[in-house]
Amino acid sequence: MHSTLSTNKILMLTGLTLSIFLLSSYRVIGYIGFAIIIAVAIACAKKIHIDTIFKTAMLCASVLSIRFIIQVLCGQWYANTTGSLLFQIFIYFYIILIRNSKFRIEEWKWIFSKYTLTIFFISIYLLMRNQLSYSSFFSSMFGNIVLVGFGIALIMTSLEKKNRKRLWWLLILIIFIYCTYKSDMRSAVVGELVGIAFSLYSSIRNEGKRFNKLFFIIVVFVCFSMPYLYLELYSPSTSVTREISSRMQNYILRFSSKRMFSGRNDLWPHIINSFEGHQLLGNGIGFNPGEIYNTALSTHNLFFFLRLEQGLVGLFSFMLLLSAIWEEYYTNKKNKTTFYVQGFLVTVLIQQTFSLGLIGGKGAFSVGCWTVFIAFCKMQEYKNEV
C-alpha cells in the first residue's frame, strides 16, 4: 500500500511537471503529462463520498451538458464546441477525483514542493534570458505557470515549521512576484499582492466566518464588475471617473512603462453586446469572440467566458462550486494555512478578470490550480499532520 502510494506520488509529480509543456512547442509531452495525471487521479481515488464540492461540481457538469444538448437539438455547432465541452467536463471530473484522493497532506506537500522548484528554475532561466514575457518556446503564457508556483510558495511559507525552510520559501515567493511582473501580467501582480495581504491579515486576526465569507463575496463582486469599470475608465461618462482614469493611467505608465488599456476596451464591448437575448443560458458551448466579429482573441475574462457559453445559470453554478471550496477551507479555521490557500484562490480570481485558463484555454495552468485548490480542502488531515 505504502509503496503504491509512493509510486503514484512520483507519477503525479511527473505528470504535473510534463504538463508544463502544454504551453510550449512540444505540446505532445504535455499531453503525456495530462494522461499520467488523470491515470494517477483515478488510481488514487477512494470511494466517492457525496459532499458539497461533489454536488456543485456535478451541478456545473450538468448545466454544461444540458446546454450542449440544447445546442444539438437546435443545430448550433461552433468550431470549438467539442474542445470546450470535453475540457470543462474533464476539469469537473478531475475535481471530484482529487477531492477523493488517497494522497494525504504530507504527500501533496512533497509533490508541490518539487513541482514548484521545477517552475522556479525554469523561471530563473527565462528571467536571465529576458524571455519571461515571451519566448519562442513558451510564447507569452509561461507567466500563468509562474502564478501557480507563486500560490504553492505562498502556502508553503505557512506549512513549514522550521524558520530556515520558511525563509527559503519566502525568498522563492518574492522572486515569483518579480517574475510575474517581468512576464507582463499586471493583473496577476495585483492579485498576488492582494492574496498576500488577505493571507497575512486573516492569519493574524483570525476573523470569524462572517468576515471570511463576506470577503469572498466582495472579491467575486469586484471581479464580476471589473470589465464594466475598465470600460468606464477607458471612456469616462463623468468628471469623477475621468479624473480617476487620468491619475491611474499616469501611475500605471510610471509603474510598468506600459499603457493602462491593453486592447480589452475593443474586445469587451462586443462581448457585452452579445449577452443581449442570451442572458440566462448563454450563446452555447464553444461560442467565442470569433463568432461575434473578426478576432482570434479569447474573452480574456473568466466570468465573460462562462456567461458567453452558459449564461448566468452556468456562471452561478460555477460560483457555487468556488463558494463550496472556500467554505471547505474554513471548516477548520484553527489551522492558519487555510487562509494562505484562500489567498491563492483570491489571487487567481483577480488574475482571471483579465485572463482565461481556469476552466478554458491553458490546460497546464488549469490543472495546476485545481490540484492545489482541491488538495488543500482536506481539512480533517490538518489536525494530525500539519
* Tens of pLDDT, residues 180-196: 999 989 899 999 999 99
Q: Do residues 5 and 108 touch, judged by C-beta distance below 8 A?
A: no
Q: Do residues 84 and 360 touch, judged by C-beta distance below 8 A?
A: yes
What mean pLDDT is predicted for residues 125-149?
93
pLDDT of residue 26: 87
State residue 313 phi and psi, 5-degree precision: -65, -50
- Look-up: residue for cell 462550486? 321
Sequence letter at residue 182 = K
CA distances from 7 to 4, 12, 98, 298, 368 (A): 5, 9, 17, 38, 20
Q: Select from 271, 257, 299, 286 the least CA-distant residue to 79.
A: 286
Categorize the per-residue pLDDT at 4 as very low, low, confident or very high, splitting at 50, 70 and 90.
Answer: low
pLDDT of residue 161: 83
